Amino acid sequence: MATKDTDDIYAYGLSVALTKVVPPSTVGLYSSCPSRIKRLLSKIETNMKKESERRQNKFPPAQKKGSLWNFVSTLLTMIFYWPKWSDNGKKRRNVRYLFIEFNAWHFTGTDKLWAGLVITLCESFQFIFGGLLISVFRTSQHIDESVGKLIKESHEPEWIAKKMCCFPLWLLAIVSVLLAIGLIAVVIVVGFPTGDSSGDGITVIESMAIATLGLPAAGAVRFTILLSKNLMFNQDFKIQRKMDAPKMSAQLGFMDEVRKEVEILINFIRFMEVYERRNIRVVLEITNLDRCTPEKIAGVLDAINILLSGENNPFISILAIDPRVIVKSVESLESMDKNGYKFLNRIVTLPFTVPEMDISSKRRVFRKLVERQPEFPEDGQSEESQGISYEAERSKVLEESFISEEGDEGNFKYYLMENSINMRRIINSVRVSIIIMASQREELPPAREIAAWIVLANQWPCRLSWILQCIEDDEQRAEIDKDFTGEDSIDETKLLWNVFCESRLEFHLIKDQIKNFLEIDGDPELFEMFLKKDFLLTIQQANCFKAFTVNLDPSIKKELELIRGSKNLKDTIKLEKAMPLKSGFVLKMNEDDVCKEMKKLKFSERNTDKYMQRIKENNLDGRALLFGHYNEIKNVLQMSMGEWTDFSIHFLGIKPQAVSPYVTGGLVTCVGRS
């Protein structure tokens, strides 16, 4: 029995929820993978359309779509009637969904991104319902306060006839048409009278003609002029023109214009709901918002919160975003809430975080991305002429490392990210790296090693750059000290993980300075498992691959080089003595665990026994160390300055501070937590 794709299940669950929610609602579709969001939105749209068709077959609408009579009937109803939208209409089981996509990236160059959202709504409504229908509605269905009061006080169930001089407008129109036809018929049959223009007969006939055709003709002319104006200059054109005007988009009148346009669209939906006798929901899919600047992101979120979230609005907004990016953008603005998550929670009524893909789904997506890159015949001819099969080697690396499901040891199952952009980056990096290596080497390294190096550079660029910088510094130091040591090189069989461990404290001490670099790194625990357990890469392999690495930004290593050189910490700290422990690890320790871990600091045996006794007497377990006051802990243990420095770095994450003006040299510790 075939199993469903997990994304199909997620899309189905969310689509069912969307058919039940009461508008206006804002759904947060949270994922860091744009292509996965696009795929989910497509499946959600398909599922909701199927549900709409099922309900339509069970509860048929009042009018059939696409017939000429339906179109003419809609126009006449707009001209002669006001719709009465009541709460009873909400109970209808039949629902029509209108899907509108707003790609924020397409409007990122505009002054006000939220105005682009309204323009998208206008254009989509014109495409779905037709420009003529929208223009007739704008011309004939202007609902002001008096009309709204009339509709509210009326006892009619659905339609309220427009009136002129206490007579229904449709009746006056019929009478006027009949009189006009009768008058024209009389003129055709009898002929237009001739004679003195001042004669009573001719004057009477002219007066009758003016009385019969004058007022209706004036109304028809006015309606035609307004309709032509709306057809030629629709509302989205007006908004764009005002956006282009100097300083116009910053004025209050522009916001009021946009608000009125949203009200017109809402009234149009209400009219169509009454006419079709079914509910209509506008599903607005907002994508690529996380690619815009913070100011424009905040503007769109405010527009959703203000313009599209009023009472009885038919909008269901799907905010397809990476929440981490949105939160940081909101928090970076002084005028916005300092807590981006709270701001987002005030807007989103249904959060849906897309779970991470399982390994089989990742492999399937990766395979599809590889298969999308066609191999052109001329590529193969070029490779054969050089005696090298680049594509064969590339396919071997990708198949053995990322696609094959045979075995768990070499398939990178823990290190393949679900983001399709990340997958494409790996695929393209493999292609370029193999071409460069094959052009300069007679024999390529094993496919597993090539893949491991590319993934390492892709997932942890900051930590890998740090390792490469440490190797470079060690090689330079070995060259400088060769006259004293007799060796001009370092041990190239040393593991990269050991290189990182030896400089781990140094790396920990500068983490605040390289915060931006660390944010682009992946999971630190996976990094440790990658180099310590799964892929035991050495300095020799790093030097081999370094020249062919195309997916590692060298500016990161350059910045680390400047920071490391300015601090010169590697020459002032005995790195092997104290490595900072993680807070979660310390928190789980009891007194015996603390004593056992303290032995690794290699204090004198006499002092170690003394400190262990004080730890047990004062019940200094992990919780006491983390939540206790630092000075009190120091007073209880009564350690020397040097031993307290090692202890605090190892257990408490205290790091050296800039030298105080009262201190002549050395390192000073400050109270802080890692």
Cis amide linkage into residue 351, ω under 30° from 0: no
Residue by residue, DSSP assigns 184-236 as HHHHHHH----S-TTSHHHHHHHHHHHHHHHHHHHHHHHHHHHHHHHHHS-HH
Top pLDDT among 113 and 25 is at 25
**Displacement of CA 373 from its chain's centroid (Å):** 26
pLDDT at 465: 94
Top pLDDT among 397 and 553 is at 553
As beta bridge partners, residue 95 has 279
- For the chain, what percent of residues have pLDDT higher than 90? 10
Top pLDDT among 440 and 234 is at 440
Candidate from 157-161, 264-268, 337-341 with smallest mean pLDDT: 337-341
Kindly give the pairing relationship between strand 656-657 and strand 668-669.
antiparallel
Query: Does residue 270 carry a pLDDT above 80?
Result: yes
pLDDT-derived band at 212 (thresholds 50, 70, 90) equals low
pLDDT at 34: 84
pLDDT at 483: 62
pLDDT at 235: 59
Neighbours of 633 (CB within 10 A): 20
337 CB-contact burial (10 Å; exposed 0-12 / middle 13-18 / buried 19+): middle
Query: Does residue 383 carry a pLDDT above 60?
Result: no
SS3 category, 15: helix
Q: Which two tokens stand for residue 330?
A: 């909101």
Residues 163 and 294 sit within 8 Å (Cβ to Cβ): no
Query: Does residue 184 carry a pLDDT above 70?
Result: yes
CA–CA dist 97, 95 (Å, integer)? 7
pLDDT at 656: 41
Candidate from 15-24, 380-389, 404-413, 578-587 with smallest mean pLDDT: 380-389
Top pLDDT among 444 and 154 is at 444
- Name the average pLDDT for the chain: 77
Task: Report which DSSP code applies to 399.
Answer: I
CA–CA dist 47, 95 (Å, integer)? 13
Q: Which two tokens stand for residue 249?
A: 């988009």
Amino acid at 96: R
At 8-46, the pLDDT tens digits run 888 999 998 998 888 888 999 998 888 889 889 999 999
pLDDT-derived band at 421 (thresholds 50, 70, 90) equals confident
CA–CA dist 338, 316 (Å, integer)? 27
- Overall size of the chain counted in residues: 674
CA–CA dist 68, 237 (Å, integer)? 28
**Percent of the chain as helix, strand, coil, to the nearest 5:** 65, 10, 30
List Cβ<8 Å contacts ≥24 apart for 254-260.
254/112, 254/115, 258/114, 258/115, 258/118, 258/307, 259/307
CA–CA dist 146, 124 (Å, integer)? 30
At 626-659, the pLDDT tens digits run 888 878 888 888 888 888 888 888 888 765 443 3
Model-wide pTM > 0.85: no
Candidate from 63-77, 277-291, 629-643 with smallest mean pLDDT: 63-77
Candidate from 351-360, 409-418, 658-667 with smallest mean pLDDT: 658-667
Candidate from 44-53, 146-155, 250-259 with smallest mean pLDDT: 250-259
pLDDT at 542: 92
Task: Report which DSSP code applies to 400.
Answer: I
pLDDT-derived band at 259 (thresholds 50, 70, 90) equals confident
CA–CA dist 262, 137 (Å, integer)? 14
Residue by residue, DSSP assigns 358-373 as PHHHHHHHHHHHHHTS
What backbone phi and psi angles, to 5 degrees, belong to 489? Answer: -145, 165
Query: Does residue 2 carry a pLDDT above 50?
Result: no
pLDDT at 376: 40
Closest of 386, 439, 404, 403 to residue 550, by C-alpha: 439
Q: Which of 195-199, 378-382, 619-623 has the highest mean pLDDT?
A: 619-623
pLDDT at 568: 55
pLDDT at 42: 92
Query: Does residue 488 carry a pLDDT above 80?
Result: no
Query: Does residue 163 carry a pLDDT above 50?
Result: yes
pLDDT at 228: 62
Closest of 320, 306, 277, 343 to residue 18, by C-alpha: 320
Q: What is the 3-state secondary structure (H, E, C) of 517-555?
A: HHHCCCCHHHHHHHHHHHCCCEHHHHHHHHCCCCCCCHH
SS3 category, 247: coil
Residues in Cβ contact with 105 at an 8 Å cutoff, skipping those fewer than 6 apart: 288, 291, 292
pLDDT-derived band at 538 (thresholds 50, 70, 90) equals very high
Top pLDDT among 635 and 234 is at 635
Q: Which two tokens stand for residue 598?
A: 């303290």
